[in-house]
Each structure stands twice: as structure tokens, then as C-alpha cells.
Amino acid sequence: MEHSGLNNVVDIEWKLGVTAASSKERQAGTTYLHFKLVLDAGGGSLKTVYMEMSLAQFYAFLHELEKAKSSLYYIS
């Protein structure tokens, strides 16, 4: 099978956290998400990618995924 350059997600782990204290007053109490993605890099190898998003970034990302899902549904 030819590898197209896109990586399929094999596994995902996520953690939700809240910053309890920070030297920057505005950061205390903020919510964030940590993601660990395991991707199929082709040729039998796996690639691990780590990401962090604020809650606002996550909701924007989720909104974009929903739009993509709707577009794919409309096409098929």
C-alpha cells in the first residue's frame, strides 16, 4: 500500500488539567488538555506526537472537526 504522507491515528491518550498556581496571575485557574497521539508513520513504524491546547483552542478544534464531518457527510 502506498503511503500518502498522512498519518493514521493508532491510539490517543488525553488528560484534562487546571493550573493551580502560576507566577503569572492570569494563568492560575486556566483549563488545558494534553494529548498524546500515536500515529502510523508507514512502513510499520509508529510516531508519537504530544500536544497541549487551552479549553478555548480545543472547542475551536472540535468545531472544525464537526464542520469537516458535515462536509464529508454531504459529499457521500
Q: Is residue 2 part of a domain?
A: no
Average pLDDT over residues 10-38: 88
Q: Is residue 1 part of a domain?
A: no
* pLDDT of 38 higher than 50: yes
Q: What is the pLDDT of residues 43-71, one digit of tens each?
A: 889 999 999 999 999 999 999 999 999 98
pLDDT at 4: 59
Alpha helices (runs of H) in 8-54, residue ranges in sequence order:
none
Q: Is residue 39 part of a domain?
A: yes
Count structural domains, the chain: 1
Task: Give the predicted TM-score (pTM) of the model.
Answer: 0.66
Domain assignment of residue 28, given as a range: 8-75
| Bridge partners for 31 per DSSP | 18
Q: Is residue 35 part of a domain?
A: yes
Q: Give the Cα separation of 12 and 22 in Å (integer).
A: 28
Q: Give the Cα separation of 33 and 67 in Å (integer).
A: 21
